Amino acid sequence: MQDTTKITIEKKSFNDLELPEIIYKYRTWSDEYHKRFITEKEAFMASAKTFEDQLDCKSY
């Protein structure tokens, strides 16, 4: 069973939200991209052409 949590934000601006100081993202050491992200400080950025929604990004 998958744990799902729904968060509702009531008409507040982003600056008014109380956000945690640190957010953790768990990575698997068997994934080569995750290793490079941690050891080489390298991040993968997908091409805008690969986005599914045409309105996500407009390329020129």
Average model confidence (pLDDT) for the chain? Answer: 76
The structure tokens 């957010």 sit at: 23
Reading the block at residue 21, the tokens are 């100081």
DSSP secondary structure, 1-60, as one string = ----------S--GGGS---S-------TT-HHHHHHHHS-------GGG-SSTTS----
Segment 3-12 shows an average pLDDT of 64
Residue with tokens 């400080």: 41
Q: What is the pLDDT of residue 15?
A: 76
| pLDDT at residue 5 greater than cutoff 80 | no
Q: How confident is the model at residue 4 (pLDDT cuts 50, 70, 90)?
A: low
What per-residue confidence (pLDDT) applies to 60?
57
